[in-house]
Amino acid sequence: MTSEHTPDQPDNAIEPAPASPEPVSEAPVTPAAAAAPAANPTAQRQRASQLAQALRAELQKALIGQTAVIDDVLSALIAGGHVLIEGVPGLGKTLLVRALARCFGGEFARIQFTPDLMPSDVTGHAVYDLKTEQFKLRKGPVFTNLLLADEINRAPAKTQAALLEVMQERQVTLEGRALNVPLPFMVLATQNPIEQEGTYPLPEAELDRFMLKLRMDYPEQSEELNIVRQVARSSKADMLEVTALRTLLQARDVLALQKIASDLPIDEQVLDYAVRIARATRSWPGLTIGAGPRASIALVRCGRARALLRGGDFVVPDDIKGCALAVLRHRVRMSPELDIEGLSVDQVLQQLLAQVPAPRL
């Protein structure tokens, strides 16, 4: 789905929802209403939270049984970060991104990563025009709002590195010219577990640029039954439909959500809690490499987004702790001894989180 849009400034506030006895998830939400000015910051936050919750309800229509993953993806969108989704084939990783693109009225592009994909296929390149006898820049699919990097670990490190600049600086350098990408910009990458054949591990520099690494697991039996029942009614073989989903967001609405989340109050003790969690990974027994300052920043940004998503007026320690696994699991490395014992990164991080005292507000 691709549509024309004109990025607005992020200070377009979100209008408070009109008084209504109906539940928030059932109330109609339109992009125009979302971008209208608000009366005050409290009402602005309430309206932003309602819009985010309506988007969550819409995504749950397409992706059954992955509530936690949906919440994490929305948190990254609100926080302005990138997401790496890992899982075995057939769990709905690509479906989730397609559903989000369907609910978003901005530009969407998809790159299917393969072993023969070149960096210029991602960023673009210069082509010679015979008529003008000059080189012209042809922009690649990276110049979009939502970029799906499907099966990113199917391409070698040289091609994966084409995303390094744009993920960090929101620009691409072509033929010596720095070209900005449209805002908001978000990379949603999917990958199969790297133990499978034909895959390449992602460089650590690229992993660190992903705010969250999510793991999509098999659904519960009742959820899988609902999936099979829904797909069996589809006319497209084993594909779930996303065409019925409503478009709830435009580019300016996402920028407004990001601005509101960044202004959400956070107590100094909660800020210190996020830093202490990140710093604990650097000296924790069994971790040979800890998380850097970018992890501390990601914990705070994602904590603010989670607070907005749940409808809170400020960030609490549980908002930080709730996103800690997704923020840290790809930024640390376990020692071979713990690996031999059969411990996973998540188990080690859960032990760490249990030992770092949370502030009492």
- Residue identified by tokens 């969407």 is 108
What is the pLDDT at residue 350?
Answer: 95
What are the structure tokens assigned to 333, written together?
């490395």
pLDDT < 50 stretches in the chain? 1-13, 15-38
What is the pLDDT at residue 54?
Answer: 93
What is the pLDDT at residue 4?
Answer: 41
What is the pLDDT at residue 1?
Answer: 42
For 32-170, list the strands marked E by DSSP.
83-86, 108-112, 124-129, 134-139, 146-150
Phi, psi of 191 (to 5 degrees): -150, 145
Q: What is the Cα–Cα distance from 43 to 315, expressed in whole angstroms? A: 17
What is the pLDDT at residue 223?
Answer: 80
Domains of the chain (ranges, CATH numbers): 1-263 (3.40.50.300), 264-361 (1.10.8.80)
pTM of the model: 0.83
Q: What is the Cα–Cα distance from 125 to 148, expressed in whole angstroms? A: 20
What is the pLDDT at residue 181?
Answer: 93
* 272 class by beta-carbon count within 10 Å (0-12 exposed, 13-18 middle, 19+ buried): exposed
CA 19 to chain centroid, in Å, comes to 31
What is the pLDDT at residue 239?
Answer: 55
CA 265 to chain centroid, in Å, comes to 22
What is the pLDDT at residue 318?
Answer: 95
What is the pLDDT at residue 306?
Answer: 96
Q: What is the Cα–Cα distance from 7 to 252, expressed in whole angstroms? A: 6
